[in-house]
């Protein structure tokens, strides 16, 4: 990944931009329905970030969530701020992951899917790390998965 080009970015706007990209999939006839639920912080969540890289990272997480729910389900995205950081949570009601799978998810070329390269989550982790942030996942078989990204408002503030 190229180094991020930091500028003032509203995280909530980035989330809305990503959701527009997948809007057709949410409304597609003949496919199991994935219902998006947004619970974003009121107002703007301004941070210093590379908006394009964040769109790519969040898009990867949204696509993974959709793929994890082949029979349909709910995609929940929430944002908040606390103590000089912003938090973004992306949850699905899909099949979930084992503890072992969670431990390996960010390893390049590791995948739990039939298709794909296994690079999506490694890219997400790289983007988050390049922004001085952290990403974590919680999941259990049968109970979906939740990815939480924590980013500093300014990139020099480590989490």
Can you tell me the distance from the alpha carbon of 119 to that of 137, in angstroms, rounded to the nearest whole number?
A: 16
Crossing angle (nearest 10°) for helices 51-67 and 120-130 = 150
Rounded percentage of the chain residues whose pLDDT exceeds 90: 63
Q: Which CATH number fits domain 7-152: 3.40.50.720, 3.30.565.10, 3.40.50.2300, 3.90.1150.10?
A: 3.30.565.10
How is residue 94 annotated by DSSP? Answer: S
**Per-residue pLDDT at 53:** 97
Can you tell me the distance from the alpha carbon of 64 to that of 111, in angstroms, rounded to the nearest whole number?
A: 11
Q: Hey, what are 69's tokens?
A: 């729910």
Q: Among the residues of the chain, which ranges form H helices?
A: 11-21, 23-27, 51-67, 99-104, 120-130
- pTM summary value: 0.90
Quickly tell me which residue has 């982790």 as its tokens: 125
Output 80 or 109, whichever has higher pLDDT: 80
Q: Is the pLDDT of residue 158 over 60?
A: no
């Amino acid at each position: 990944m190229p180094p991020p080009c930091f500028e003032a970015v509203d995280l909530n706007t980035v989330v809305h931009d990503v959701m527009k990209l997948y809007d057709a999939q949410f409304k597609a006839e003949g496919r199991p329905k994935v219902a998006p639920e947004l619970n974003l912080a009121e107002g703007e969540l301004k941070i210093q970030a590379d908006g394009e890289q964040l769109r790519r990272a969040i898009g990867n997480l949204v696509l993974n969530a959709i793929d994890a729910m082949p029979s349909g389900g709910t995609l929940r995205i929430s944002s908040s701020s606390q103590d000089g950081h912003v938090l973004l949570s992306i949850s699905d009601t899909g099949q979930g992951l084992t503890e072992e799978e969670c431990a390996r998810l960010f390893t390049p070329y590791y995948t739990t899917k039939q298709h794909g390269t296994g690079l999506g989550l490694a890219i997400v982790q790289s983007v988050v790390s390049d922004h001085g942030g952290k990403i974590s996942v919680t999941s259990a078989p049968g109970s979906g998965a939740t990815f939480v990204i924590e980013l500093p408002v300014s990139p020099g503030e480590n989490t």
